[in-house]
A and B are shown apart, each in its own frame.
Chain A
């Protein structure tokens, strides 16, 4: 055997503290991106639902944002906002918007018209109708959007290693620079594991939040 083994567990065990820090950073970056992205998306989706003529421009702008290569976006932002978390989050949030807005709008528009008519006919005023009927019924579609956005964001966070953030992406970049395979494999594996764990957690959350959509089988007749 010549040279170092492909994956060195001893290196991993020597750097558990660092690994834990990066995982935490990864989750924080992802969490903030999703939280801020969701807040902006709800606001823009409401605008789009209330004023249907504004919906196409909203999806157009967020669609353009979505197509900008992440590398280029960060390169463009660094001169303005520097090597900061803000720079990272501007990019990450931008990429969540299109998916989240589309799913929120589709979810609300997908509410059965008969349910809406019954609700209005029994005396629901618009605000309560939205909060108590439309939003809960749109939840499965909205959560599906959040899942996609979360998985995408977890992958993208690794790119922010280029501006000194990156979560577990730090290991990938560091490994590339130092030709050290263990770090590259570790960073990649952690990113994938995080994505899977977060996705499964969201599935579980959906089960708990929308028991009406999945419990038992429907009755015939």
Chain B
């Protein structure tokens, strides 16, 4: 959908290139995050796509068309653009701000009004805010207004330059979730710039890690980058806790589950003891036809049978769709060394800390 072909940008009067020979392919409907330290040319790269910065050499195409083939304003009206400071027009109401590009495109009034209503609802703003000026909106609301304005003419491509950089972490996390939710519905092609590696990992279908001078050190899905950093630069940029970061990207369903120290209600005391020994625990779970009834201490087996024990219910459980990070958290806080996994109400197996560590080592 977007293709940069050995693009170079040298700003006049600067000795080194801001971006040198950068090539990048962005497929239709994916979010590509450009991430890197300051001075890595990520914003320059982004701005070359809508010609706010004109490349010194190289070729950029959007939807197969060379971006130099149309006038810059015309090109920009077909590409959504969101910046960190948002840049809402202070002298225009929320509705007028959202209507910006449709007005530039000369849509008729009724069509603009209808579209504005749609967008205000789409980004979860209140229709009653239509006539408010930007200064009468909160930071989060302004950010949503900026996204609505960028989406107004339904552009297939969206460029976002650190759009959530200026809001507090809680609002940022919510706006990220909302963006992912929007993206599931709209399937835009998004190029997103950030300096925050966690944001890149959370949002990107693919992440391009840039080094100073606009050099791509690695371009791959986040899980792959975390599992297999291309070089020392990437490794250092990811930080020392990249293993933990990776966990949040892998769903439990991707790891083979184990039976765990669980025995059927009708099992013998010996069988229960053998299970506990195998998992190195002093408790066991009791199953009845696949349903997990609960658990009991090893000591409760003294002079009793499995069937005679009254099982205690499990306090902790994780969903099959949850991430390994959540599973590990559950395991650590439960002191049991394993976590029972449920698919809805159905017990499907247990996950252990060893299994998680095995998956990371893969």
Contact = CB atoms under 8 A, between A and B. Distances in A.
B133 A215 contact: yes
Contact of B89 (A119, A120, A123, A125): A119
A218 B135 contact: yes
Contact of A114 (B77, B85, B137, B139): B85
A124 B73 contact: yes
A212 B90 contact: yes
Given A114-B85, A137-B91, A212-B90, A121 B73 contact: no
A53 B156 CA distance: 42
A219 B76 contact: no
A63 interface: no
Given A123-B104, A124-B104, A212-B133, A118 B138 contact: no
A133 interface: yes
A118 B77 contact: no
Interface string B115-152: 00000000000000000010111111100001001100
Interface residues of B, number: 32
Interface in A23-62: none
B85 A221 contact: no
Given A133-B89, A215-B133, A120 B83 contact: no
A136 B91 contact: yes
Contacts of A221: 138-140
Contact of B52 (A117, A137, A210): A117
Interface string A97-134: 00000000000000010111111111111001000010
A117 B90 contact: no
A216 interface: yes
Contacts of A204: none
Interface string A204-221: 000000111101101111
Contacts of B93: 212
Contact of A212 (B73, B91, B138, B150): B91
A133 B100 CA distance: 11
Nearest to A121: B81
A49 B150 CA distance: 29
Given A121-B52, A123-B74, A124-B104, A115 B136 contact: no
B91 A122 contact: no
A57 B136 CA distance: 41
Contacts of A121: 50, 52, 76, 81, 83
B317 interface: no
A113 B245 CA distance: 37
Contact of B73 (A117, A118, A125): A125
A216 B135 CA distance: 9
A218 B91 CA distance: 14
A123 B76 contact: yes
A154 to B, nearest CB: 29
B86 interface: yes
Interface in B71-98: 73-77, 81, 83, 85-93
A213 B90 CA distance: 8
B101 interface: yes
Nearest to A219: B138
A170 B177 CA distance: 73
B104 A115 contact: no
Contacts of A117: 52, 83, 87
Contacts of A211: 133
A10 B101 CA distance: 66
Nearest to A118: B87
A115 B135 contact: no
B137 A219 contact: yes
Nearest to A116: B87
Contacts of A124: 73, 104
A133 B90 CA distance: 9
Interchain residue pairs A-B with the least CB separation, the first 3? A118-B87, A114-B85, A123-B77
Interface of B: 50, 52, 73-77, 81, 83, 85-93, 100-101, 104, 133, 135-141, 146, 149-150
Given A114-B87, A117-B83, A125-B73, 10 more contacts: A112-B85, A114-B85, A117-B52, A119-B87, A121-B50, A136-B91, A137-B89, A212-B91, A212-B133, A219-B137
27 contacts: A112-B90, A115-B87, A115-B90, A117-B52, A117-B83, A117-B87, A118-B86, A118-B88, A118-B146, A119-B89, A121-B76, A121-B83, A122-B149, A123-B76, A123-B101, A123-B104, A124-B104, A136-B91, A137-B89, A137-B90, A212-B135, A218-B135, A218-B136, A219-B138, A219-B141, A220-B138, A221-B138
